[in-house]
Copies of this chain bind each other. A is one copy, B any other.
Amino acid sequence: MAETLTATALTLKDIAREAGVSLATVDRVLHNRPGVRPDTVRRVKAAIERNSFQPHVAAAELARGRARRFAFVMPSGPNPFMQQIEAYLGEMSAWLAARRLGVEMVTTDVFDPSALAASLEALSGDYDGVAVVALDHPGVRAAINDLVDAGTKVVTLVSDVPSSRRHHYVGIDNIAAGRTAGALVGRLVGQRSGKVAIVAGSQGLRDHAERIFGFNQVMATEFPGLSVLPVLEGRDEDDRSEQLLGRLFGSHADIVGLYNVGAGTQGVAKALNDKALNDKALNDKALSEVGRDKQVVFVGHDVTALTRRLLLQGVMDAAISQNPGHEARAAVRVLLALARGEPILSEQEKIRIDIVMRDNLP
């Protein structure tokens, strides 16, 4: 009827007695300090294993005295997603303070890898951990590796540098996100056939490129009735996205689906709206006859104030979302666990790809 999940409450002293050594030796083993014979190390570790001993985090944290400092290196500029991450970090301030964790924000130009690398190098030595929204570039990779070598824990956030030796990546699998977007567009279009448009910031951005790759993959294999038009590069700007898309709508009458890979959502929505007005003017059918199914299926990314409104209005059909609050908290938790030498609850820290439609808006 009742079953216990947790171990006993042993202390280091008990382990020392068990292993037949002194407290000092256990301490040396626990912290990989030199001066212990391999054989003794084994004995101590065995005693720890045998009792599945876990140092009391509170005691450890208290004893080490020094507060921990983390830095978040984020892109400058008005990116709403990044602003959300910062906001959620702000909400954690009481939580952080109670644990004597110092978190500092460092901003740097997104599109300048060498500036990012320099910012990272500048952090060396001052921080226990660094979370960085990274660019995949040799200089950045080197800077990350340098930090790791200096003993700083490093996690990449949102955008990964898999070739670096960063300890962890907190973010989604962008190829899977693109596949999900593709499946949604395809399924929501239904039996109709026609063309599908893609608007991205730039194909040079790793995350955008990966999403497009996943999207095309699904379209090619599963929705032969739909053909994907060449990618429009809107540079995440509203005006540019609107113009490019407007022109595309002009030259292709049979566009039934639209995937917006990055930002610039405002512009995309405007172009869509213009097209709808245009279509209505062209033929005399009543609105009810045009109906939902005549509309362009529109799938994008991230839940912001704008996409929330578009979802509620029915302009947007689904948003692929990575929960920024979860990402912020996961980054802090992972850094803390790494710094403490605790295991990471990988299931907990994994960022899911959320499909958000009108009725499950968070």
List residues of A whose CB falls within 8 A of some B CB.
1-7, 9, 52, 54-62, 67, 71, 88-108, 176-177, 179-180, 182-184, 187-188, 190-191, 214, 218, 293, 317, 323, 325-326, 329, 342-343, 345, 347-348, 350, 352-360, 362
Which residues on B sit within 8 Å (CB–CB) of A353?
Answer: 360
Contact status B91-A345, CB under 8 Å = yes
Which residues on B sit within 8 Å (CB–CB) of A96?
Answer: 5-6
Q: How many copies does the complex hold?
A: 2
6 A/B residue pairs, CB under 8 Å, sorted by A: A2-B71, A2-B104, A9-B100, A58-B99, A91-B345, A184-B357
Contact status B218-A67, CB under 8 Å = no
Contact pick for A54, options B4, B98, B342, B362, CB 8 Å: B98
Contact pick for A102, options B4, B52, B54, B100, CB 8 Å: B4
Contact status A183-B6, CB under 8 Å = no
CB closest residue in chain B, given A67 = B9
Complex CA distance for A312 and B216, rounded to whole angstroms: 19
Closest 10 A/B residue pairs (Cβ): A190-B190, A58-B61, A355-B355, A179-B359, A353-B360, A58-B58, A54-B97, A180-B359, A54-B98, A180-B360
Which residues on B sit within 8 Å (CB–CB) of A184?
Answer: 357
Contact pick for A105, options B5, B56, B108, B177, CB 8 Å: B5
Interface core residue of A62, A71, A360, A362 (most chain B CB under 10 Å): A360
From known contacts A6-B102, A362-B350, infer whether A1 and B107 are also in contact, taking CB-CB under 8 Å: yes
From known contacts A2-B106, A62-B56, A362-B350, infer whether A342 and B95 are also in contact, taking CB-CB under 8 Å: yes
Complex CA distance for A104 and B2, rounded to whole angstroms: 6
CB closest residue in chain B, given A342 = B98
Minimum CB–CB distance from A330 to chain B (whole Å) comes to 10
